[in-house]
Structure formats: C-alpha cells, structure tokens
Amino acid sequence: MDNTSNFVELKKSNKIWAIGSIHSNLKSFKSIKEFLLNNFEATDKLIFLGNVIGLGSNSKETLNSVIDLRFSLMSKFKLEHESIVFLRGAQEEMFSKLLQLQLAPNPTEIIEWMFDHGVNETIKSYGFSEDEVKNVASSGTLNISKWTTNLNKALQNNPGHTQYFLNLKHAAFSHNKKILFVNRGVDVTRPLSAQNDCFWWGFQNFSSIERPYKSFIRIVRGYESAHLNEQDISKHSIVCTLFKQPLSNKSVLFGIFAENGEILDLFENK
C-alpha cells in the first residue's frame, strides 16, 4: 500500500467497483466478496467507500475478510496497488483518533461520544471492554498511553490491520475526472485539496446538488445519514449513494461504474 497521497487517480479502468459502508456486516460482505472473486477482471478497479468497521460486532473479522479479498485479487491479476482503494470513513477516522487518545484534551468526553457512534463495537472485537476503556480514559495520560499501546499491539497481531489504517485515502477519481468517489460528501465551494474532513463528516445539503462539481458529473459516496429510497439511489443525476438507512436493515450496497460516470449496475445485499 502507498500512503504518499490522500487521493487516488484511477487509470485505464474497464469497470470501477464501489462498495458502500459495510459497518462490520460480515455476512453481507462475504456474499459480495464471492461475487467479486467470480466477476472481477484484470482491468477493473475496486473502491471501499469507508466505514468498513464500526456499529456491528464483527469489525476485526470483517477487516480480515476485506484484506483477504485484496490479497486474493492482487495475487490473481497481478494488480497495481492503486487498483484497490480504501477510503476513510467516519468509523475509521474515530478509531484512528482512538489510537492517539492520550493526546486528547478531554479523553472521557471523546470516549463517550465515540461509543455513542458505534466505536465501542470495534473496541470489543479487538478484545477490550467498554468499561475498561472508560476507566482508562479518566485515569491520566500515562495509563491512557499504556492502553493505546496495547490497542496498537492488538492491531499488529492481525496482519494488515495497522497498514489499513495508515493507508486510508480521502477520495478517488477517474483519470478523466468525470466520476468522484468519497465516503460521505464534499463541500462544492472548495477544491478537493481543501475539503478538510467534509469527506467523512459530510456537507450540508450535499444530497440535493444539481450541478456537476468541477468536472465531476457523478459523485459516488458510501454513507448518508438520512433515509433514501431506491429511486434516489439509482437515478440521482449527480450523487449516487451506496447506502440506505435505517441501519437495522443490515444491507450493504455496491455498484459498478464506468470512467465517464455511467452507472453500469447497482446491487443490494442483505
């Protein structure tokens, strides 16, 4: 994996596969994985649109399966590193901050907020209890540093996990800049290089944009907090959202796109 840039330009792509927020839904992802292994081609690209982890109880196991898929496709087709892209979602952003909890000015409040947003399930999948983390957060910088060291060791004990968090990208786009892939949204008044954290926290009224963003005539994203129906997902002229609320439906959406922004196919897997 290569972390020299926050952005990936997808070159010479036959088809671009994009997977919306998985949120540790291992069962649904296994079906998607099997479909990809049977239908992916050497000239294709694959993008995970963030939020692979979190909310569900199988974060570690889901990440293992995602990494295994990457290895299988890379080996089978001798792919370049940029052929498979992982974007940073809110869940990855929060967990990455958790790995540096000792630097937070208010660790107890941070933990409470993160746990309210699903990070507690990721912690548990690596063998840590919620109560343990909450106690550590209020016990001083030295104890927090010891705990984050143990959390980092837990990642290192799972091959590829540390590298995953170190190599997350902010966005990806086709070489002709017709289609853009993000986790949640963009501030259409700013260039890509000045988005800050809009990519994973979103931007007000992004779903309703009616004009292309720069040269991008299609923006594909992997998460939306509001309820969307099937028509919104498949026919929106600019934004294509590969995610549907409520979270309790436990579905994972993925799609196939052309370099020019055309939607070739859309799937929903439960």
* pLDDT tens, position by position, 32-52: 999 999 999 999 999 999 999
Same domain, 264 and 176: yes
Residues 174 and 264 reside in one and the same domain:
yes
pLDDT, the chain, mean: 92
Amino acid 1: pLDDT: 42
Share of the chain above pLDDT 70, in %: 95
64 plus 150 within the same structural domain: no
d(CA 53, CA 269) in angstroms, rounded, equals 17
- Residues 61 and 179 placed together within one structural domain of the fold: yes
CB 215, CB 177: distance < 8 Å? yes
In a domain, residue 163? The reply is: no
- Which of 50-64, 137-151, 217-231 bottoms out in mean pLDDT, i.e. has the lowest? 217-231
Same domain, 83 and 108: no
Q: Identify the pLDDT of residue 118.
A: 95
In a shared domain, residues 57 and 180: yes
Pair 232, 176 in one domain: yes
| Model pTM score | 0.94
Last residue of a domain, one of 134, 156, 178: 156
Contacts of 155 (CB under 8 A, 6+ apart): 99, 126, 161, 162, 165
Residue 246's pLDDT is what?
74
For residue 225, pLDDT over 90 is answered with no
Section 115-134 average pLDDT? 96
**HSE-CB of 112 using CA atoms within 13 angstroms:** 5
- Domain check: are 52 and 131 in the same one? no
Which range has the worst mean pLDDT, 13-22, 89-98, 226-235?
A: 226-235
Give the residue numbers spanning the domain of 99.
93-156
**How deeply is 223 buried, as exposed, middle or buried, from its count of CB atoms within 10 A (0-12, 13-18, 19+)?**
buried
- Asked whether residue 164 is assigned to any structural domain, the reply reads no
What torsion do the CA atoms of 204, 262, 266, 65 make, to the nearest 10 degrees? -80
Peptide bond before 246: cis, by omega within 30 degrees of 0?
A: yes
Asked whether residue 120 is assigned to any structural domain, the reply reads: yes
> Average pLDDT for residues 85-102, to the nearest whole number?
97
Of 1-5, 106-110, 148-152, 164-168, where does mean pLDDT reach its minimum? 1-5
Number of domain units in the chain: 2
The string of DSSP codes covering 193-229 is GG-TTHHHH--TTGGG--S-BTTBSEEEES--SS---
Average pLDDT (112-131) is 96
Do both 116 and 245 map to the same domain? no
Q: What b/e readout covers 130-153, taking b as 16+ CB neighbours within 10 angstroms?
A: eeebbebbeeeeeebeebbeebee
Query: Does 171 have pLDDT greater than 60?
Result: yes
pLDDT band at 115 (very low <50, low <70, confident <90, very high): very high
Q: Is 254 within a domain?
A: yes
Do residue 174 and residue 257 come from a single domain? Answer: yes
Collapse the DSSP code of 50 into the 3-class scheme (helix H, G, I; strand E, B; otherwise coil) and give the result. coil
User: Both 99 and 80 in a single domain?
Assistant: no
Is residue 138 in a domain? Answer: yes
Q: Is the pLDDT of residue 230 over 70?
A: no
